[in-house]
C-alpha cells in the first residue's frame, strides 16, 4: 500500500523584541519563561516575579524545567537555561519542556526571555521550535482509528531572538520528519519498489533528476557485492536510486550523500535468531536520513549541487541466498570473500560508494545503521564517525556539537586491513571473530571510495533509536543525521 508523503506540521511562529510589561495573556495560552541558570533572581523582574519566586520554593533546585500554574491559571514552564551552551543540552531541555505542554493540548505557547544573552536565548528558541515540529509530527499508524489531532498551533517569542535561525530549523525538521516517517513504516509498506516510488514522487515534487539502477543494469556494471545481498529476494525490485539536486546556474562538482536502504534484514544464511529480527524494517534508516538531508538542503536553496545515492534492498533467506566463503566481485573489481551474510549493509554500500565515486564528487557523506559494535562502543547517544581525512576529525566533532547531533570519530588506521586479508580474495567482508567490527566495516567501505574524494561514514546504529527520545526528538525512532548532514555539507562547501 502506498501512503501519502508526510507534510511539515503547521506551526505559526512570531517574534517580538518587546517583553510585555504586563502578562495579561488569554488563559488558554501556556508560558515558557527562559531564565538564566546563573541569575535566577532575574525572575523577580518579571510581572509575576514575587509569585513565581515563592512557588519555586516548593521544588528542589535541581528541577528543570519547573511546571506550575501562574497567578491567573496559565500553565507555566520555568526553564533555567545553562550558562554552558551546548545545542544538545538545550535540545533536551526543549523536549522536556514542550512535551508536557503538547500532551496537555496547549494551543499557543508564549516564550518569554528574561535575560540578554542573544546567542544562548536564540539557540534555545531554535531548539524549542525544532522540538515543537517533532512533537506535532504524526508517525504512520496502520489503523482505521483517526489519530488525535495536535492542539498546538502557534509559538510566540518575546525578547531578543535576533540570532534564531528558524528557516534552518524548519528545513531540518521537515527532513527529520521524513526520515522518521519512512523508518517507522512496516516492511510490507516499504519494500525497495515502494521506497523507489516514494522517493521518485518526492523528486518530481522537488524538481530533482532521478536515475534508477535496477538489477539488470547492476549486473552489467558488475555490482557483485550489492547483488549478492539481493539474490534470494523473491521480488527483483532492488537497486540503487540516484537523485540529483541542481541549483540554477551552478556548474560545479557535486557533494554526495549515500545511505544504506535495507528495507528488511533477515540476516540471510546467517539467520537472525532470538528476536533479533524484530525491528529490522528500520535497517533502511541511513537512506532515509540521506533523503531527508537532501530535502532539507532543497528547502534551504543550498547553492551547491548535491547527489543522493540510496541503496534499496532486502536481505532474504532462501535456496539462492549467498553463503559464507562465497567470493563475489564488486563494481570496482575488488573481490570479496563472504564471512557473514548478516553483514549485508557494507555490501550494498560498497557498490553504491563505488558508483557514487565515478561522478567525482567533492566529498561523500554516507549514513548507515551498520554495526552492533558501534553501539557497544558508544551506547545510544552519539553516532560513530569514520573518515579518510585526518584533518576532518575535530571538524566532525564541532559540527555535531553545533547542530545537536553528536558524532564521535574512531581510528581509521591502515594496519587494520591486515585483519581483513583473505586467502581466496582481495579482502574479507569482515573479520571471522574479534572486536572492533565498526572500524573494520569502515576500512572495508573505504576500499570502494576513490582516495582523492573526502569521505565521511557515519554509523547511526547507536542513535537510530532511543527509548523516550533524545535531544529535541520525542519518539523512539530518531531520524538522526539530517541536522548533522546539513551542517557538515555547509562546512565542506565553504572550505
Cα 153 from chain centroid (whole Å):
25
Is residue 109 within 8 A of residue 156, CB to CB? The reply is yes
Report d(CA 463, CA 465) in Å as an integer: 5
> Which residue of the set 40, 55, 153, 272 is catalytic?
272
Q: For the chain, report the end-to-end CA distance as a whole number of angstroms.
A: 44
Cα 116 from chain centroid (whole Å):
32
CB atoms within 10 A of CB 157: 26
Helices and strands (DSSP H and E) totals, the chain: 13, 17
Give the total residue count for the chain.
495
List Cβ neighbours of 170 (8 Å cut-off, separation of 6 or more): 8, 129, 133, 299
Sign (positive or negative) of CA dihedral 431, 437, 443, 445: positive
Q: Is the peptide bond prior to 169 cis by the omega test (within 30 degrees of 0)?
A: no
Q: What are phi and psi of 174, to 5 degrees?
A: -65, -40
Which residues partner with 386 through β-bridges? 457
Is residue 98 within 8 A of residue 132, CB to CB? The reply is yes
Report d(CA 384, CA 73) in Å as an integer: 46
Active site residue 272: yes
List Cβ neighbours of 290 (8 Å cut-off, separation of 6 or more): 257, 258, 259, 308, 309, 310, 366, 367, 485
Helix ranges restricted to H, 114-261: 118-136, 166-184, 192-206, 215-221, 224-230
Distances from the Cα of 211 to the Cα of 121, 196, 243, 244, 347, angstroms: 44, 10, 7, 9, 21
> Which residue of the set 95, 346, 431, 483 is catalytic?
346
List Cβ neighbours of 399 (8 Å cut-off, separation of 6 or more): 407, 484, 487, 488, 491
State the burial class of residue 240 (Cβ atoms within 10 Å of its Cβ: 0-12, 13-18, 19+): buried
Instruction: Choose among 241, 236, 235: nearest CA to 261.
Output: 241
Q: Which residues are catalytically annotated?
A: 272, 346
Amino acid at each position: 500500500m502506498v501512503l501519502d508523503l508526510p507534510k511539515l506540521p503547521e506551526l505559526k511562529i512570531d517574534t517580538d523584541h518587546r517583553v510585555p510589561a504586563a502578562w495579561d495573556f488569554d488563559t488558554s495560552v501556556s508560558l515558557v519563561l527562559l531564565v538564566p541558570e546563573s541569575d535566577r533572581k532575574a525572575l523577580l523582574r518579571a510581572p509575576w516575579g514575587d509569585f513565581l519566586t515563592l512557588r519555586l520554593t516548593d521544588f528542589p533546585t535541581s528541577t528543570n524545567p519547573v511546571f506550575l500554574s501562574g497567578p491567573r491559571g496559565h500553565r507555566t514552564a520555568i526553564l533555567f537555561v545553562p550558562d554552558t551552551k551546548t545545542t544538545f543540552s538545550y535540545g533536551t531541555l526543549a523536549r522536556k519542556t514542550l512535551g508536557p505542554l503538547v500532551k496537555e493540548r496547549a494551543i499557543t505557547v508564549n516564550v518569554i526571555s528574561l535575560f540578554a544573552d542573544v546567542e544562548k536565548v536564540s539557540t534555545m528558541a531554535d531548539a524549542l521550535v525544532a522540538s515543537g515540529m517533532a512533537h506535532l509530527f504524526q508517525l504512520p499508524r496502520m489503523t482505521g482509528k483517526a489519530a488525535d489531532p495536535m492542539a498546538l498551533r502557534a509559538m510566540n517569542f518575546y525578547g531578543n531572538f535576533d540570532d534564531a535561525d528558524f528557516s534552518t530549523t524548519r528545513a531540518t525538521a521537515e527532513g527529520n520528519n521524513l526520515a522518521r516517517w519512512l523508518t517507522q513504516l512496516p516492511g510490507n509498506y516499504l519494500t525497495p519498489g515502494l521506497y523507489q516510488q516514494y522517493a521518485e514522487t518526492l523528486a518530481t515534487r522537488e524538481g530533482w533528476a532521478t536515475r534508477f539502477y535496477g538489477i539488470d543494469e547492476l549486473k552489467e556494471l558488475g555490482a557483485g557485492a550489492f547483488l549478492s545481498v539481493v539474490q534470494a529476494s523473491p521480488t527483483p525490485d532492488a537497486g540503487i536510486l540516484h537523485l540529483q539536486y541542481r541549483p540554477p546556474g551552478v556548474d560545479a562538482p557535486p557533494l554526495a550523500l549515500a545511505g544504506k536502504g535495507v528495507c528488511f534484514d533477515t540476516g540471510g544464511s546467517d539467520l537472525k535468531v532470538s528476536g533479533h529480527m524484530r525491528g529490522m524494517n528500520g535497517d533502511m534508516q541511513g537512506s532515509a536520513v540521506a533523503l531527508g538531508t537532501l530535502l532539507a538542503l532543497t528547502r534551504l536553496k543550498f547553492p551547491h549541487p548535491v547527489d543522493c545515492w540510496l541503496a534499496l534492498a532486502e536481505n532474504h533467506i532462501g535456496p539462492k541466498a549467498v553463503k559464507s566463503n562465497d567470493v563475489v566481485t564488486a563494481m570496482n573489481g575488488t573481490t570479496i570473500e563472504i564471512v557473514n551474510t548478516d553483514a549485508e549493509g557494507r555490501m550494498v554500500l560498497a557498490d553504491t560508494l563505488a558508483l557514487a565515486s565515478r561522478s567525482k564528487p567533492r566529498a561523500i557523506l554516507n549514513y548507515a545503521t551498520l554495526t552492533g559494535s558501534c553501539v557497544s562502543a558508544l551506547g545510544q547517544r552519539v553516532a560513530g564517525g569514520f573518515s579518510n581525512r585526518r584533518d576532518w576529525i575535530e571538524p566532525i566533532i564541532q559540527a555535531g556539537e553545533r547542530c545537536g547531533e553528536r558524532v564521535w570519530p574512531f581510528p581509521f588506521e591502515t594496519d587494520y586491513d591486515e585483519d581483513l586479508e583473505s586467502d581466496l580474495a582481495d579482502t574479507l567482508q569482515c573479520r571471522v571473530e574479534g572486536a572492533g567490527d565498526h572500524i573494520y566495516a569502515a576500512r572495508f567501505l573505504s576500499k570502494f571510495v576513490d582516495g582523492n574524494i573526502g569521505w565521511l561514514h557515519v554509523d547511526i546504529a547507536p542513535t537510530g533509536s532511543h527509548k523516550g527520545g533524545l535531544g529535541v526528538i520525542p519518539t523512539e525512532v530518531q531520524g538522526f543525521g539530517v541536522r548533522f548532514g546539513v551542517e557538515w555539507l555547509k562546512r565542506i562547501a565553504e572550505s
